[in-house]
Structure 1
Amino acid sequence: MARKNILSGLMDDSKKFTAVNSETDSGAEKQQIAFKGIGALGAVTRSIDALAARADAARDIEEKLAHGETVIDLDTALIEDSFVSDRLIQTDEQFQELLEAIRSRGQDSPILVRPHPQKDGKYQIAFGHRRARVAKELGRPVRAVVKKLDDRDHVIAQGQENSARADLSFIERTMFADKLDTLGFDRETIMSALSADKTTVSKMLSVTRRIPAEVLSAIGAARATGRDRWHDLSVKFEEENAAERAMLFVETADFVAAEPDTRFDMLVQFLNGKPVSTAQNQTQPASISQWQRRDGSVKAKIKDNGKQFTIALKAAKGSAFGAYIADNLDRLYEAFEKDMISSKNGDQ
């Protein structure tokens, strides 16, 4: 028997959405790039293609949402957050980028709210918490679609939109699944909300059942740490006194000072009985610089900590310029090597 469409006019059950956050890039120019390379460059290319597809999926959800529905301006004082949180932390940098984008060009995509189930005249956010927070800080109303949703449809809409944007880490998605499970939602609802199969959801819940919530929160989002590593860490908590030892370790000064992914590595080292590399000797403070074209068409933030060199491109042509760089990495590296050789020969 075919499953009934959960959110008529909003979700298409025939599609599985796994997309990327596009809140700050909905107006950006998109470009499909075809690479002939294989290996590491091929993997990067596939990742770029996947991100573009995920961004399209996120927009697809919101287009279906707005189709046939009225987008209205709501006073942010009338809106409350969802009854189940799905995010560990929102960095100030990410929030400021979204704030500046909405300040300059307005709110591109509406949020989804439902009439509050317990408070007359109030609304509850299904998704779009950050956009609502930005609107509140800017002193503006927030553009929203109001839709009657029961609790099940509310969490499915919330989870699927976040899965489409793919801006939640594995452990944030896992803790969201655990909260839904604790609230008594059935496994099919959790699977639909996360766009995940039964095996994946089972592995997610096994992580939260083994690792204490206090330890998970202390580690943080750990965006570079995937499912298998989290699962391996959770198995360590089956050992005697592992939870008690971990609870004490996550309160140490070096652990607290580290970034989330470094915290994860430090805890793994500690539970394995190995010397723990602290945040100070794992990474060097990153130097940060800015660059932009005179006409403002492309802006870049450049970070270098000695191990990683990152360029984040913004503005209207940021996506196209980034795609051009990716498409010409081989040629750029060859030019770099020639320059290095020329400089070396010139010094002799």
Structure 2
Amino acid sequence: MARKNLLAGLSETETDDQVSSTSTAAYPIRGASKSMIRSVNELAKQADAYLEGEHVVELDPNVIDGSFVSDRMGDDKEQYQELLEAIRERGQDTPILVRPHPGIDGRYMIVFGHRRVRVAGELGRKVRAVVKEIDDKTHVIAQGQENSARANLSFIEKAMFAKRLEDLGYDRDVISSALASNAAAVSKMVSVVTRIPASVIGKIGSAASVGRERWVELSLLVGRKSDMVTEIQ
């Protein structure tokens, strides 16, 4: 029997990182199969490794551009306001990670810390940052690990990020490392966003309380409907 209100009334998030331990690359990168992340705390340590022992500088937010691949579907306004007030009162506790912009001299590209840059801009302050020369592959892994550890990305945000990385030509090992998810979980993420039209996902939004299983169910329903339309045609 079909479920009614498939995406409604859900209070828990059934994310992949709650379902199983996942594989990710250590820093420096050694490949997803060579390092296992046992907890969010360990993943946070992986992300912190990109900042450890590095000189922190202050940069003008106006010379910093966003990452070449996005991982969010929009900011939570309440959480963003809390961050803004915290930085206004206490200052920026944790530096962001940027790299020299690969295509524009004198500018930087954010690896992680987009919201802190935005806050600094709104407050008219410099942003504390670590500047590191890294390649695109290291960039997406560092970005994904940081956000998987701290940003509470929803399942669909992770799935969209996985699909964007795949479209950019990254293999499943890199995507698994970036999302701290095993190959099976990444495959499921990509299949969900492949079946469900981007316009539908955009209207639903990040759906923070909706976990993997509800999105999988919806994708299967969409897939069956598409098959029926194809048969009729």
Q: Do the aligned residues in 2 keep the contact of 1:84 with 1:179 (CA within 8 Å)?
A: yes
Write out per-residue CA displacement over residues 289-337 of structure 1, whole angstroms, 9 at most, x where no aligned residue. xxxxxxxxxxxxxxxxxxxxxxxxxxxxxxxxxxxxxxxxxxxxxxxxx
Which amino acid letter does the alignment assign opposite residue 73 of structure 1? E
Residue 16 (str. 1) matches residue 37 (str. 2): yes
Which protein, 1 or 2, shows the higher relative CO under an 8 Å CA cutoff with sep ≥ 6?
2
Residue pairs, 1:208-219, within 5 angstroms: 208-219=193-204
Which amino acid letter does the alignment assign opposite residue 137 of structure 2? R
Residue 128 (str. 1) matches residue 113 (str. 2): yes
From the superposition, tell whether residues 4 and 192 of structure 1 become closer, same or farther in structure 2 (CA, over 3 Å). Answer: closer
Please, what is the CA RMSD of the aligned residues? 2.3
Q: Secondary structure at the match of 2:111?
A: strand
From the superposition, tell whether residues 57 and 239 of structure 1 become closer, same or farther in structure 2 (CA, over 3 Å). Answer: closer
Residue 224 (str. 1) matches residue 176 (str. 2): no
1:64 to 42, 46, 49: 49
Distance (Å, rounded) in 2 between the aligned partners of 1:81 and 1:93: 22
Distance (Å, rounded) in 1 between the aligned partners of 2:140 and 2:228: 30
* TM-score normalised by length of structure 2: 0.80
Partner of 1:162: 147
Partner of 2:21: none
Distance (Å, rounded) in 2 between the aligned partners of 1:243 and 1:141: 56
Q: Secondary structure at the match of 1:231?
A: helix
Partner of 2:183: 198
Aligned length: 202
Q: Do the aligned residues in 2 keep the contact of 1:17 with 1:195 (CA within 8 Å)?
A: no
Q: Do the aligned residues in 2 keep the contact of 1:211 with 1:243 (CA within 8 Å)?
A: no
* TM-score normalised by length of structure 1: 0.55
Which amino acid letter does the alignment assign opposite residue 106 of structure 1? G
1:7 to 25, 28, 34: 28
Partner of 2:8: none
Partner of 1:254: none
From the superposition, tell whether residues 67 and 139 of structure 1 become closer, same or farther in structure 2 (CA, over 3 Å). Answer: same
Q: CA deviation at 1:92?
A: 2.0
Residue 89 (str. 1) matches residue 74 (str. 2): yes
List alignment gaps of at least 5 residues for structure 2: 1-23
From the superposition, tell whether residues 4 and 142 of structure 1 become closer, same or farther in structure 2 (CA, over 3 Å). Answer: closer
From the superposition, tell whether residues 214 and 229 of structure 1 become closer, same or farther in structure 2 (CA, over 3 Å). Answer: same
Partner of 1:99: 84
Q: CA deviation at 1:65?
A: 2.8
Which amino acid letter does the alignment assign opposite residue 37 of structure 2? K
Partner of 2:17: none
2:138 to 153, 173, 182: 153
Q: CA deviation at 1:91?
A: 2.3
Q: Do the aligned residues in 1 keep the contact of 2:97 with 2:131 (CA within 8 Å)?
A: yes
> What percentage of residue pairs aligned between the two structures are identical?
54
Task: Pick the structure with greater CA Rg.
Answer: 1
From the superposition, tell whether residues 4 and 17 of structure 1 become closer, same or farther in structure 2 (CA, over 3 Å). Answer: closer
Q: Do the aligned residues in 2 keep the contact of 1:18 with 1:163 (CA within 8 Å)?
A: no
Which amino acid letter does the alignment assign opposite residue 181 of structure 1? E
Q: Do the aligned residues in 2 keep the contact of 1:18 with 1:165 (CA within 8 Å)?
A: no
Q: Do the aligned residues in 2 keep the contact of 1:62 with 1:110 (CA within 8 Å)?
A: no
Partner of 2:9: none
Distance (Å, rounded) in 2 between the aligned partners of 1:103 and 1:86: 25
Q: Do the aligned residues in 1 keep the contact of 2:43 with 2:145 (CA within 8 Å)?
A: no
